[in-house]
Amino acid sequence: MDAPTTLSFEFFPPKDGAGEERLWHTLAQLTDITPDFLSVTYGAGGSTRDRTLRITSEITARTGIPTVAHLTCVGASGAELESVLTQYKSAGINRVLALRGDPPGGPRDTWVRTSDGFDHADQLVAKAGAMGFDVGVAIFPDGHPASKDRAEDLVTLKRKVDAGATFAISQFFFNVNSWQRLMNDVASAGLNLTLIPGIMPVTNVKQIIRFAELSGTEIPPAIRSRFEAVADDPVAVAQLGVEVATALCHELLEIGVNALHFFTLNSSPATREVVANLGIR
């Protein structure tokens, strides 16, 4: 029998109390479909960083589900990154997603290293690996927004594998061919890496267009025009979002993918519906 599909859900640390209440509610709704792990994004900078640390640790404590803590090199020295990793360790977190993070002007802006900090994610991979973490990295089925071509992305990815990365979670994408191409690239480069596709069930058209522009994700014209036609009707957008995400997941499962990572945006209904449609829990 085929191994069951690995399921994981991503959350972000909310900015205020109301957002936090919503997060705990969403978590309760999603943990009863037994995800294999949860992941929590990382916001750098003073109070944001402290809140991220507190909420990530609390998610692990409340759910008892293995948590992947994201971590970026933004605005931090190597010693500060080590201190965050130590706090994650004490909270029982053993897996991290090691990222460079984006410059203040966005992913295409020039990266400026913090004094005594890191230039690239591969250095953070090595650091976290040396501290005993299982380390994952980001991958980009439609290409990293600042990279020249797929060959450059693959060289970057190989550096991270050589530094100790064992798994990779992808940026969201809409075209199964982008995923297939990435799988082929990784296989032909002989990289030993678990690849986990990131799935975004669309719930807001303006937001997804902005996210896609920022992250370099291609929205196929046929999909974009269907969303734009219903953009002012939130119920229709959510229904179409579930339909499109379900179709992509079916295509992925058909080509042998056995892990799905959902960007929940701290809301449960869309992810629950897609998982129910797939019949994998």
Residues of this chain that bind ligand FAD (CB under 6 A)? 41-42, 70, 72, 97, 99-102, 107, 120-122, 138, 144, 146-147, 152, 156, 159, 169-171, 198
Please report, for residues 45, 78, 125, 219, the alpha-carbon distance to residue 39 in angstroms, rounded to integers and kept in the order given. 19, 23, 17, 25
59 vs 99 by CB, closer to ligand FAD: 99
- State the nearest-atom distance from the C-beta of 224 to ligand FAD, in Å: 21
CB of 239 to ligand FAD, least distance (A): 26
Helix axes 150-162, 121-130, angle to 10 degrees: 20
- Torsion of the alpha carbons at 111, 187, 5 and 208, rounded to the nearest 10: 40
Task: Identify the active-site residue in 10, 20, 82, 218.
Answer: 10
Token reading at 61: 């404590």
Q: Containing H/E element for 22?
A: helix 17-31
Distances in Å between the Cα of 14 and the Cα atoms of 19, 72, 221, 265 are 5, 17, 32, 10
CB of 41 or CB of 204, closer to ligand FAD: 41
Q: What are the structure tokens assigned to 134, written together?
A: 């299982």
Q: Are 163 and 125 in contact (CB under 8 A)?
A: yes
Calpha distance 221→161 (Å, rounded): 34
For residues 237 and 191, what is the distance between their CA atoms, to the nearest angstrom?
Answer: 38
- Catalytic residue list contains 10: yes
Q: State which residue, 32 or 162, has the beta carbon closest to ligand FAD.
A: 162
Nearer to ligand FAD, 197 or 241 (CB): 197
Residues with a catalytic annotation lie at: 10
